Chain A
Amino acid sequence: MISSLENRRIRFDILRIPLLGHFLKWRHSRTAMQIVLFALAAAIIIDGLFGTQLAAKNVATVGVWVHYRGIVVFALLLVGNLFCAACPFMLPRKLAKWIGKPTRRWPQFLRNKWLALVGLIFIIYTYELFDLWSSPWWTAWLAVAYFATAFVLEAFFTRSSFCMYVCPLGSFNFLYSTVSPTQITSRDLQTCRDCVGKECINGSETQNGCDLELFVPTIQSNMNCTLCLDCVKACPHDNVALTVRPPGDELFRQNWPHRLDLAFLAIMASSVGLINAFGMTPPVYRLELYLGDLFNTQSEAIVLGFIYIVSVVLAPLLLAYSAAWIGRTISRQTISLNRLLMRHAYSFVPLGLAIWTAHYLFHFVIAAMTIVPAFQDFFARTLNWPILGQSDWQMPARYVPSFTSVQVWQSIIMYIGLFAAVGLTIYAARNAHKGEANGRNAALLEALPWIAVLLVIAVASGITFLLPMEMRGSPLGG
């Protein structure tokens, strides 16, 4: 492919920005960023285990469930996969590799996103089941478990198997970084063609190559890119760029067309986003009571499990395959349903990101400044070292915007996500029928059921955001 590719126009290379570029290309830049997040993770674990167990006052719960989630989605929208770039779970990796001296490769049948998708659903399910957002102690243990899993897998398997195939947070970031306005690319393909060492993937004596096995000149997508910039540092020709691109550009290019796992990830991530928001509203309580009576059980695990299986797995698949079947029938095609599913799964990416962003926006903006007194409390009470002074819990309320204005923003975000999704699905259908006689009509007919599905999800999300929500605890519009 490299021989037939043409140079992409480098519109703007972030790595050429003075100071910032120098820092990013510095050999230890990732480690420096990881140390910062590692320190924050340490604070989360310490405060979660030994600090106040009032969730609203604890760095663990505020840091993870308010700030981490909020900042991650905004970073993905505005810059790129910044969390993976500075991932603290990968900091102990050298130690793990040194201890384990791994030689095994990750099993072939697991080299996909199925495991990560199951992990993502499982995390959201346990979050709901155990009220993780209200438990600093369990939140801290979740962070510990994440460190432990990453450490063990890094010790057993070569390359970055954990990031590539297991990490649910990473897969979430990979998926939605396809909307991000930045991407790694090569500056000049001829230089890559002439390159002997291919250090960007093979590494050199002093620098690792890409542990996720992405070969820079063939990178067409942010999928699986952690923005670790190892390729930048390894390239002896200074031929790797972190370029700016139109947001969501790659979704229109359909760069992962034969991956059913990625298609499912895109579709189910949006339904998980919806159910995660819905799970914090009053109607879910009534639904649980109803199902509890129906199944004659008081076990929330069973009832919630049923809701999740139906709403996160079965309903989206039913909707998606129905849309594919109807679209295929009315547009009189013979293509397989899976192929249609993969073609239109891209359109769930902007909609899903809109749902997550609108959801987290509220939590983030109504509690953004609580991190200050939470850290004051952490130092003063948990560590008994009041370097930030005594906590001022009256301060955060002064920075809370009106709920109505947040709701307006949520609506705007949902509109943008929905219109982008509808645009993508029409574009995908038109692209597939390009050159056909009466292809325009066939494309619209193929796209229509998908538009209906996207609309159903968007409207369901819109209604959910109008309901009072746990933790947000607001009478919207009231």
Chain B
Amino acid sequence: MTKYDLLQDTIVKRICKGIIIALLLAFRLQPQTTYAHGGVIMDGGFTPEYEWLVLSANSPLVEGLNLMSFVIYDINTYEPIDGMRVEVLIAHPSSRVECCNADEHVGPIELEADPENWPGDYSYPLPLDGFGNFQLKFIAYKSNSDEPAIEAISTMLVLPDLNNITPEPNPNLIPPDETGVITSPLSAPGQAESPLEAPLPGITEDIAITGTAASTSQSEQTISASNGSTTQAPISGGTTAAVATTEGETLLDKLRRQWILWTMAGLIPLAMLAFLLFRPSVDELVAQKEAELAAEADDDIEDFEEGLDD
């Protein structure tokens, strides 16, 4: 081995090591904790005039702020409907009063519209403080009218936040104009058809809650079983959060929620086993390769043409 080869060998090894380290580091990048618009469909329905969807930017819903969108379309033309006033009332799982009224429940919280960029879309980060089955009542009014055009009650399971982290944008990770970035939901015909005309608005305002907010103190929180029954178990303090997880979301819920991923996880050992069973031996690979190399392309064409002629 010459001096040049030795040097070359060392360089190659160092570069390889560098690449491996780079590979390992590459995907340790932190995700951008930005709000996104739309996402998971939580509910949907229609009236004689309108069709609507409720979308959540987060899944699963975790206690704290969750960006919710209520999108409204004309049921005949499927044009997004702007100019409405949309409010939400939130019934905590512990509420013993039927959903929803402004005296007993959180809200009304008015959803914000951005018709220039997201026509037909009314969104706001809603405070779901607590866990269990919340009920959200969305009420849409035509402009200059106090008569509700749409009333929809959606039940949503909210999980406890074990890390006690609210999904607020992290200003250290996100450029200012990207905080509260909005991306369009699947259900948005006509929305953001041209990003050239769709700058990225931010949601920076504080949450304004009007009306009488229901008590959401941690010590007074109760949980209800995920099947929607009224079983309630008072808990207190953060130490019970783990218990609350298992009670708030049953094992069946967890399995159901993750079923595709669990199925895929189950396939991995099967695939590995299959690979071990069916992989060719080295001798076999060598023999096949040699046979293929020995074969002449002309023979192939002749055989092929014979086949065609026959």
* Chain A binding surface SS class: helix
Residues of chain B with a CB closer than 8 A to A441's CB:
5, 8-9, 12
| From A55, A201, A367, residue with most partner B Cβ within 10 Å | A55
Interface contact A55-B186, CB-CB below 8 Å: yes
Which of A166-174, A285-293, A311-319 is the contact stretch?
A: A285-293
Q: When each residue 113-139 of chain B gets 1 if its CB lies under 8 Å from chain A and 0 otherwise, what string results?
A: 000000000000000000000000000
Residues of chain B with a CB closer than 8 A to A458's CB:
26
How many Å lie between the Cα of A373 and that of B42 in the bound state?
12
Report how many residues on chain A are interfacial, defined by Cβ distance under 8 Å.
Answer: 103
Interface contact A253-B181, CB-CB below 8 Å: no
Interface contact B300-A478, CB-CB below 8 Å: no
Interface contact A477-B30, CB-CB below 8 Å: yes
How many Å lie between the Cα of A401 and that of B259 in the bound state?
8
How many Å lie between the Cα of A200 and that of B187 in the bound state?
47
Within 8 A of A (CB), among B271-302: 271, 274-275, 277-280, 284, 287-289, 291-292, 294-297, 299-300
- Give chain B nearest CB distance to A65 CB in angstroms: 8
The 8 Å CB contact of B307, one of A198, A473, A477, is: A198
Report how many residues on chain B are interfacial, defined by Cβ distance under 8 Å.
Answer: 100
Interface contact B26-A56, CB-CB below 8 Å: no
Interface contact A282-B261, CB-CB below 8 Å: no
Interface contact B195-A300, CB-CB below 8 Å: yes
Interface contact A402-B185, CB-CB below 8 Å: no
Residues of chain B with a CB closer than 8 A to A400's CB:
40, 59-60, 257
Interface contact B12-A396, CB-CB below 8 Å: no
Interface contact B59-A397, CB-CB below 8 Å: yes
Within 8 A of B (CB), among A141-185: 181
The number of inter-chain residue pairs (CB within 8 angstroms) is 289
How many Å lie between the Cα of A65 and that of B185 in the bound state?
13
Closest residue to B8 on the A side, CB-wise? A441
Q: When each residue 452-478 of chain A gets 1 if its CB lies under 8 Å from chain B and 0 otherwise, what string results?
A: 100100110011001111111111111
Closest residue to A330 on the B side, CB-wise? B8
The 8 Å CB contact of A284, one of B22, B195, B197, is: B195
Residues of chain A with a CB closer than 8 A to B32's CB:
466-468, 475-477
Interface contact B186-A463, CB-CB below 8 Å: no
Chain B residues proximal to chain A, CB less than 8 Å: 1, 5, 8-9, 12, 15-16, 19, 22-23, 26-27, 29-45, 51, 53, 55-60, 67, 73, 78, 154-157, 167, 169, 178, 181, 183-200, 253, 256-261, 264, 267, 271, 274-275, 277-280, 284, 287-289, 291-292, 294-297, 299-300, 303-304, 306-308, 310
